[in-house]
Amino acid sequence: MTVDTRYAVNVSPKPGILDPQGRAVEGSLDHLGIAGVSAVRVGRRIELTVSAADDAAARAVVERLAAELLANPLIEAYQIEVLGAVSSIESDSASGAPG
């Protein structure tokens, strides 16, 4: 039997790496009349479902994927988030839970 688990991998530029996208977002804040916002960093979030024998096996797959493909460890850091078992996510959306 396998378990289907939904994960998210959040990838962001490592501290100290210049993030031109973040800088561009910061540059637009003046136009919106927003003050007091700084250190904007733009990353990306990848969500995926993993079928594996157990949680540890699933986690190992996500770790490998994150380190070898989804993030470039030279310039990016990543953080893995467990979103839950897929069946419970499906029943949540079926019951009309706010997303």
Partner 1 sequence: MTVKIGVVVFPGSNRDIDAVNALEVAGAEAVILWHENATLQGVAAVLIPGGFAYGDYLRAGVIARSSPVMRSVARFASDGGLVLGICNGFQVLTEAHLLPGALLRNRGLRFVSREIAIAAERLDTPFTQRLGERRALRMPVAHGEGAFYADDATLDEFEANGQVLFRYVHEDGSRAGGEEDRANPNGSLRAIAGVTNAAGNVAGLMPHPETAVEAVLGSDDGLGIVASFVASAADRERAGGPVEVGAR
Residues that bind partner 1 (CB under 8 A): 17-18, 20-21, 24, 69-70, 72, 74-75
> Would you give the end-to-end CA distance of the chain in angstroms?
29
CB of 27 to partner 1, least distance (A): 10
Instruction: Give the DSSP H or E segment for 24.
Output: helix 20-32
Which is nearer to partner 1, 61 or 89 (by Cβ)?
A: 61
Cβ(58)–Cβ(52) below 8 Å: yes
CB of 24 to partner 1, least distance (A): 6
CB of 17 to partner 1, least distance (A): 7
- State whether residue 36 is helix, strand or coil: coil
CA angle 78, 40, 24 (to 5 degrees): 115
Which is nearer to partner 1, 15 or 98 (by Cβ)?
A: 15
Which is nearer to partner 1, 17 or 53 (by Cβ)?
A: 17
